[in-house]
C-alpha cells in the first residue's frame, strides 16, 4: 500500500482534503513510494490563519528564548542526521554523503540564527536634540512563507525558516512535492525543540498552493528558490500583492581555467562540482572555460579518465559518486539537452544517455556527459541543464573568458582557477556575477554571509540568510523620545526646528 504523506499544521499531521495527490518516486527504482496531498486554496488559508494566531504570542517571546529553541533544534537534527539523510536520499536520489552535506549546510544557518539576540539589536543616539534620544528596533513581519525546490529539501528550508522564526515570525513552508518527507520531519523536530504549535507549518501543493500564498493578505513576505521563469512569476505576483519577495532562479556557472592553474586540483574540482549530486545544484559548475588551446587540450586529456572513473550507483551506495536524478521527466529533459548539443555541433566526448544500472534498470540514472567546442550561440549553453553535463567553452584570453559569465543571462556563481593573485583579484572585482570563487569551484558563502545571484538568477533586492536574511524578515521601527522636565521643555518642539 502506498504511503500517504501529510501536511503539518498547528503542530500535528493533517490529511489532505483537496482530493488531489502527487506521486513521490524512488529515483533508484522508478517506483512510486508515496503520495503527497496537493493543498487547495482553502487549506492554505486555514494554515495561514493558524500561523497568524500563533505568531502573536511567539513574537512576544524574548529573543534569547527563541534562540534556545534553535539551539535545541540543532541538537535534535544532529541526533537524527543518519535517519534524515537516508530519508532525503531515497526521495531525492543524491548519495548519503551529499544528503548529509545538504542537512549540514542548513544547520549552519540555524547556528547563525542562534545569535538572534545580537542580530536584532537596533541603533541608539543620545542627545539627538535638546533632551531628545532616538532609537530603532527590528520587529517581525508576521506570517511569512517559503517555497523551496527539490534539489535541497533540507538546506533551503532551514535557510529560510531558521532566520524567519528566530526573528519572531510564523512560517508557512511549501516544499517541493517531489521530496516532501524531510521538510515535514524538520517541522516535527522544531516542535520537539520547544517551538509553539502553529509557528512552523508545512503545506504541500502545486501552483494552486503557491498562488494562495502569493495572494493571501496575511502573508507578508515570500522567499523562493527554483527556476528563473517561476522566480520571475513569484516576484511579479507577490510584489503586486504588496509582499516582500526574494526569488532565486536558475544558473549557468562558469569555471575559468587559467594556464597557470593547478590542473590536478582543477580536474578534481570540476568533476566534483559538475557531476556531484547528478548536477542538480544551482551552484554546480556545468561550464569550464579553459584559456588558451594548450590549456583546453590538457584539461580535456585529464578530465576524460577522471570522468570514466566516476561510479554511478543507487543513492544508498557508500561508494557511489552520484545517484539518479529526481524523476523520469527530469531525466528526459537532461537527455534532450544532450541531443540539442549534438544537433548544434558541439563535440560529444562522453555521452551519458541510456545509462542503466544493473538491477535498477528502471531507475532515473544518467551517466556523466562531456562536451567540447561549445559556443555562446548554442541554446544548450544559454540555458540551464541541471544534470550531470559538463560543457567546455574555449577562450583565447582572460578578457574573453570573463565576458562569457558576465554577458550570460544568469549570474549566480563563477569561479577562476589560477595562481596569479592580481588576475584573480581583477576578475573578482569586474565579473558581472553575484558570487565568485577563487580556486573554489562552488562558492556558496558561509551562513553568516549572504547567498544571492545577479541578473535572471535572482529577483528582489535582498539576499538569503546572513544579515540580509534578518533584514528581509524584519521591519525597522524608529522611536524619537523626550521626557519633559522643567523649563527646558517649556517651548514646543516643531519639526524641523525648535521654536
How far apart (Å, rounded) are the C-alpha atoms in residues 492 and 499? 6
How far apart (Å, rounded) are the C-alpha atoms in residues 437 and 169? 33
The CA-CA-CA angle for residues 345, 416, 96, to 5°, reads 85
Give the helix, strand, coil percentages of the chain, each rounded to 5: 40, 25, 35
Q: Which helix (H) or strand (E) holds 347?
A: strand 347-350
β-pairing, 410-411 with 347-350?
unpaired
β-pairing, 132-140 with 124-129?
antiparallel
**DSSP state for residue 141 in the 8-state scheme:** -
Given the C-alpha cell 536558475, which residue does it identify? 250
123, three cell numbers? 541603533
Instruction: Reduce the DSSP state of residue 161 to 3 states and report it.
Output: helix
CA 63 to chain centre: 26
**Cβ atoms 8, 36 nearer than 8 A:** no
CA distances from 177 to 8, 11, 349 (A): 14, 20, 35
144, three cell numbers? 511569512
Q: Which helix (H) or strand (E) holds 289?
A: strand 287-290
**Cβ atoms 256, 443 nearer than 8 A:** no
* DSSP β-bridge partners for residue 195: none
Omega prior to 496 cis, within 30 of 0: yes
Catalytic residues: 282
Residue 16: CB atoms within 10 Å: 22
355, three cell numbers? 545509462
**Cβ atoms 243, 220 nearer than 8 A:** yes
How far apart (Å, rounded) are the C-alpha atoms in residues 335 and 393? 20
Cα-Cα end-to-end distance for the chain: 80
204, three cell numbers? 504541500
Amino acid at each position: 500500500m502506498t504511503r500517504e504523506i501529510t501536511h503539518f499544521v498547528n503542530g500535528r499531521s493533517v490529511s489532505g482534503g483537496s482530493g488531489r495527490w502527487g506521486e513521490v518516486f524512488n529515483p533508484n527504482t522508478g517506483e512510486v513510494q508515496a503520495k503527497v496531498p496537493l493543498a487547495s486554496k482553502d487549506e492554505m488559508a486555514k494554515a495561514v490563519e493558524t500561523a497568524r494566531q500563533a505568531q502573536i504570542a511567539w513574537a512576544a517571546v524574548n529573543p534569547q528564548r527563541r534562540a534556545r529553541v534553535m539551539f535545541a533544534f540543532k541538537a535534535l537534527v544532529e541526533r537524527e542526521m543518519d535517519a534524515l539523510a537516508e530519508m532525503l536520499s531515497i526521495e531525492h536520489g543524491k548519495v548519503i554523503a551529499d544528503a548529509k552535506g545538504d542537512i549540514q549546510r542548513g544547520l549552519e544557518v540555524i547556528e547563525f540564527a542562534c545569535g538572534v539576540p545580537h542580530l536584532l539589536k537596533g541603533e541608539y543616539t543620545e542627545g539627538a536634540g535638546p533632551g531628545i534620544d532616538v532609537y530603532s528596533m527590528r520587529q517581525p513581519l508576521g506570517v511569512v512563507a517559503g517555497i523551496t525546490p527539490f534539489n535541497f529539501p533540507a538546506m533551503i528550508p532551514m535557510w529560510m525558516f531558521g532566520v524567519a522564526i528566530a526573528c519572531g515570525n510564523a512560517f508557512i513552508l511549501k516544499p517541493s512535492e517531489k521530496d516532501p518527507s524531510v521538510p515535514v520531519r524538520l517541522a516535527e523536530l522544531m516542535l520537539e525543540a520547544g517551538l509553539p504549535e502553529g509557528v512552523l507549518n508545512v503545506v504541500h501543493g502545486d501552483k494552486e498552493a503557491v498562488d494562495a500564498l502569493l495572494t493571501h493578505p496575511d502573508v507578508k513576505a515570500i522567499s523562493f528558490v527554483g527556476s528563473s521563469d517561476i522566480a520571475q512569476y513569484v516576484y511579479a505576483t507577490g510584489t503586486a500583492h504588496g509582499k516582500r519577495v526574494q526569488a532565486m532562479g536558475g544558473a549557468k556557472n562558469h569555471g575559468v581555467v587559467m594556464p597557470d592553474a593547478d590542473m590536478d586540483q582543477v580536474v578534481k574540482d570540476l568533476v566534483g562540482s559538475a557531476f556531484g549530486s547528478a548536477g542538480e545544484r544551482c551552484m554546480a559548475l556545468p561550464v569550464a572555460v579553459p584559456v588558451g588551446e594548450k590549456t583546453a587540450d590538457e584539461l580535456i586529456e585529464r578530465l576524460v579518465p577522471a570522468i570514466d572513473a566516476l561510479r554511478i550507483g543507487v543513492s544508498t551506495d557508500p561508494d557511489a559518486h552520484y545517484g539518479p536524478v529526481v524523476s523520469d521527466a527530469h531525466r528526459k529533459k537532461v537527455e534532450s539537452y544532450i541531443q540539442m548539443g549534438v544537433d548544434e555541433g558541439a563535440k560529444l566526448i562522453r555521452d551519458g544517455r541510456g545509462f542503466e544500472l544493473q538491477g535498477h534498470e528502471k531507475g532515473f540514472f544518467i551517466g556523466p556527459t562531456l562536451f567540447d567546442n561549445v559556443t555562446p550561440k548554442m541554446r544548450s549553453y544559454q540555458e540551464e541543464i541541471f544534470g550531470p553535463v559538463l560543457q567546455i567553452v574555449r577562450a583565447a584570453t582572460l578578457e574573453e573568458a570573463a565576458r562569457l559569465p558576465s554577458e550570460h543571462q544568469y549570474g549566480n556563481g563563477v569561479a577562476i582557477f589560477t595562481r596569479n593573485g592580481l588576475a584573480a583579484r581583477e576578475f573578482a572585482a569586474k565579473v558581472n556575477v553575484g558570487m565568485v570563487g577563487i580556486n573554489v569551484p562552488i562558492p556558496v558563502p558561509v551562513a553568516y554571509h549572504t547567498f544571492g545571484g545577479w541578473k535572471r538568477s535572482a529577483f528582489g533586492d535582498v539576499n538569503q540568510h546572513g544579515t540580509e536574511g534578518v533584514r528581509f524578515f524584519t521591519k525597522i521601527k524608529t522611536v524619537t523620545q523626550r521626557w519633559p522636565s522643567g523649563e527646558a521643555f517649556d517651548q514646543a518642539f516643531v519639526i524641523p526646528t525648535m521654536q
